A and B are shown apart, each in its own frame.
Chain A
Amino acid sequence: MAYSFDFSAVFDYSDVLLQGILMTVQLTAVGTVFGVGLGIVGAAVMTSRSRILRVIVSAYVELIRNTPFLVQLFFIFFGLPALGFRLSAWEAASLAMVINLGAYSTEIIRAGIEATPKGQIEAGLSLGMNRVQVFRHIIISPAMQRIWPALSSQIVIVMLGSAVCSQIAAEELTYAANFIQSRNFRAFESYFVTTILYLALAIALRFVLKMVGNHMFKRRSHA
Chain B
Amino acid sequence: MSLVKLQGIRKSYGSNEVLKGIDLTVNEGQVVALIGRSGSGKSTLLRTINGLEEINGGALEVDGEMLRPGHTNLRALRMKVGMVFQQFNLFPHLSAIENVMLAPVVVKKQNKAEAREVAAACLAKVGLADKEKSYPDQLSGGQQQRVAIARALAMQPRVLLCDEITSALDPELVNEVLNVVRKLAEEGMTLILVTHEMRFARDVCDNLVFMHGGKIREQGEPEQLFAAPATAELSQFVGSVAFH
CB proximity to B under 8 Å, residues A187-223: 217, 219-221, 223
Contact check: which of A123, A128, A217 meets B91 at CB < 8 Å? A123
A41 at the A/B interface (Cβ < 8 Å)? no
Q: How far is the CB of A160 from chain B (nearest CB, A)?
A: 31
Contact check: which of A125, A128, A219, A221 meets B52 at CB < 8 Å? A125
B3 at the A/B interface (Cβ < 8 Å)? no
A67 at the A/B interface (Cβ < 8 Å)? no
Contact B138 A220 (CB under 8 A): yes
Q: Which residues of A contact B87 (CB under 8 A)?
A: 117, 119
B107 at the A/B interface (Cβ < 8 Å)? yes
Q: How far is the CB of B4 from chain A (nearest CB, A)?
A: 15
Contact check: which of A128, A130, A219 meets B95 at CB < 8 Å? A219
A183 to B57 Cα, complex, angstroms: 81
Contact B75 A128 (CB under 8 A): yes
Q: How far is the CB of B64 from chain A (nearest CB, A)?
A: 16
B85 at the A/B interface (Cβ < 8 Å)? yes
Contact A128 B78 (CB under 8 A): yes
B152 at the A/B interface (Cβ < 8 Å)? yes
Contact check: which of B50, B108, B138 meets A126 at CB < 8 Å? B50
Q: Nearest chain-B residue to A122 (Cβ)?
A: B52
Contact flags B64-98 to A (C-beta < 8 A → 1, else 0)? 00000000001100110111010101111101000
B135 at the A/B interface (Cβ < 8 Å)? yes
Interface residues on B, range: 20 to 34
A120 at the A/B interface (Cβ < 8 Å)? yes
Residue of A123, A138, A145 contacting most chain B CB atoms (<10 Å): A123
Contact flags A102-139 to B (C-beta < 8 A → 1, else 0)? 00000000000000010110111111111001000110
Interface residues on A, range: 20 to 34
A129 to B107 Cα, complex, angstroms: 6
A142 at the A/B interface (Cβ < 8 Å)? yes
Known A122-B52, A126-B78; contact A137-B106, beta-carbon cutoff 8 A:
yes
Q: How far is the CB of A113 from chain B (nearest CB, A)?
A: 14
Contact check: which of A117, A219, A220 meets B89 at CB < 8 Å? A117
Q: How far is the CB of A76 from chain B (nearest CB, A)?
A: 37
Chain A residues touching B, majority SS: helix
Contact A128 B107 (CB under 8 A): yes
Q: Which residues of A contact B108 (CB under 8 A)?
A: 128
Known A219-B93, A219-B95, A220-B138; contact A127-B103, beta-carbon cutoff 8 A:
yes
Q: How far is the CB of B150 from chain A (nearest CB, A)?
A: 12
Contact B102 A223 (CB under 8 A): no
A119 to B149 Cα, complex, angstroms: 15
A142 to B137 Cα, complex, angstroms: 13
A187 to B222 Cα, complex, angstroms: 89
A153 at the A/B interface (Cβ < 8 Å)? no
Contact flags A140-174 to B (C-beta < 8 A → 1, else 0)? 01100100000000000000000000000000000
A187 to B103 Cα, complex, angstroms: 62
Known A126-B78, A128-B103, A128-B155; contact A145-B85, beta-carbon cutoff 8 A:
no
List of 10 A-B pairs having minimum Cβ-Cβ separation, nearest first = A127-B103, A123-B89, A119-B89, A126-B83, A128-B78, A128-B107, A141-B93, A128-B79, A142-B93, A119-B87
Chain A interface (Cβ within 8 Å of chain B)?
117, 119-120, 122-130, 133, 137-138, 141-142, 145, 217, 219-221, 223
Chain B interface (Cβ within 8 Å of chain A)?
50-52, 74-75, 78-79, 81-83, 85, 87, 89-93, 95, 102-103, 106-108, 133-135, 138, 148, 151-152, 155
6 contacts between A and B (CB under 8 A): A122-B85, A123-B89, A127-B78, A128-B108, A133-B107, A217-B93
Query: A124-B103, A128-B103, A129-B103 are known contacts; what are 15 more A-B pairs with Cβ within 8 Å?
Result: A119-B87, A123-B85, A123-B90, A123-B148, A123-B151, A126-B52, A127-B78, A127-B82, A127-B102, A127-B152, A128-B79, A130-B75, A133-B107, A142-B92, A221-B133
